[in-house]
Structure 1
């Protein structure tokens, strides 16, 4: 198979990306609905190397042969400011895909972050640099630069198919890849959810309980639960 690299990705309206960037991964996940929300959510193995560094930007993807990171360098050359590099070698820890020198390069280019299905290294240095990196493994394992692989093609990353141009959103809770055609509805639903939760917090501050605000008595009644006055020990005689 001949390696291939596509030079461009389909672009999403910047104003819509800015709206998404203000929303948590949890709210966007809920905004997508039960099915799409699960389809877009990466495995819990994908974790931030350092907490408190959210990411929101379009995916520039690459597949690297296990033990190799040549195509990462191709993808990094093609990425534009605000993009997120989405990198995989099939999820193996062999051959670190990411390190501090690539981090420095991406910072100079204004790249927003990196999502790595494979190994990253130089974690202490990257922490000092303040660049958002999410990965499934941490390992210093030496990478070759021989190929094969491809850039800006669909890739499977931590259980999710990511197409070039998908919106990557990530925070300490997890990482999602949202296809452009689902983004407007996801953002609108998430914004509505945020407004609803703000109203709930105000009601809690006013002395109400979540139980009553959410009307959970009907759900409890439907469950058939029996409420017994007293302690469990009392019931034992």
Structure 2
């Protein structure tokens, strides 16, 4: 990863195959998180601090990134300028609440341009107006504090957002569970595994509907036995 040493705006982004994005969009982040595997799935998942502004939000699209100096949001305007329909803006100022990164006017323009959502590692303001617009936003803070617009700034470079590395063109998936970043190199793997997981869950629901208990549907009885855990048909007082 090359870190810029001065302000820069890259106008172009390598985006994933639209057909692969469409396949990913069928799933919530839980399935795709599982599909990435135990290590990548955790490394690519933002923390519970990254919350949706409104219930029922969903987003799936390639990242356009913006690094902002604390208290400043110049970079988000450059990112808005370079972004294309279907993109997700991913913004950070390091996570501080000083200077709101995102508000309703930016939302209005993003929505008109065809962007599908914004992820903010920092503060969002005009929350009620954004909810009325119906534009999906996730944020780690809410504050009306006035931002400056003087930089320094960097757009479409790798950034760290809520502890997760985000490179331009990575797939951003968000819903009520949070936000997941899927590196382009792992997208096919994540989607294929999510499809297999979804098929398994269809079978689980069928068996539950036919009267089986979840303990057996998930193979917990065998797992408990293999771990040497004893199931005793008595209370703990009776076993003393």
Q: If the length of structure 1 is used for normalisation, what is the TM-score?
A: 0.96
In terms of fraction of residues, the more helix-rich structure is: 1
Query: Once the two structures are superposed, what CA deviation does each residue of 1:109-156 show, in whole Å capped at 9, x if it has no partner?
Result: 010000000000111111111000001111111100010010000000
How far, CA to CA, are the matches of 1:206 and 1:148 in structure 2? 61
**Aligned-residue offset at 1:84:** 0.3
Structure 1 match to 2:46: 42
Gaps of 5+ in 1: none
Structure 2 match to 1:135: 139
Structure 1 match to 2:84: 80
Structure 2 match to 1:58: 62
Q: CA RMSD in A?
A: 1.2
**Aligned-residue offset at 1:39:** 1.3
Matched position secondary structure for 2:39: helix
The answer to whether the Cα contact below 8 Å between 2:15 and 2:170 also exists between their aligned partners in 1 is no
Query: Once the two structures are superposed, what CA deviation does each residue of 1:141-185 show, in whole Å capped at 9, x if it has no partner?
Result: 110001001000000000001000000000010101111110011
Structure 2 match to 1:186: 190
The answer to whether the Cα contact below 8 Å between 2:44 and 2:164 also exists between their aligned partners in 1 is yes
Structure 1 match to 2:29: 25
Query: Once the two structures are superposed, what CA deviation does each residue of 1:3-35 show, in whole Å capped at 9, x if it has no partner?
Result: 100001002111110110111100000001001
> How do residues 164-183 of structure 1 correspond to structure 2 at under 5 angstroms?
164-183=168-187
Gaps of 5+ in 2: none
Structure 2 match to 1:226: 230
How far, CA to CA, are the matches of 1:215 and 1:61 in structure 2? 43
Structure 2 match to 1:210: 214
How far, CA to CA, are the matches of 1:21 and 1:14 in structure 2? 10
How far, CA to CA, are the matches of 1:29 and 1:229 in structure 2? 37
Task: State the aligned residue count.
Answer: 236
Q: If the length of structure 2 is used for normalisation, what is the TM-score?
A: 0.95
How far, CA to CA, are the matches of 1:102 and 1:77 in structure 2? 11
Query: Once the two structures are superposed, what CA deviation does each residue of 1:67-89 show, in whole Å capped at 9, x if it has no partner?
Result: 00001000001000000000000
**Aligned-residue offset at 1:233:** 4.4
Query: Residues 2 and 229 (structure 1 numbering): CA distance in 2 closer, same or farther, change over 3 Å?
Result: closer
Select which of 6, 16, 19 maps to 1:15: 19
How far, CA to CA, are the matches of 1:167 and 1:228 in structure 2? 48
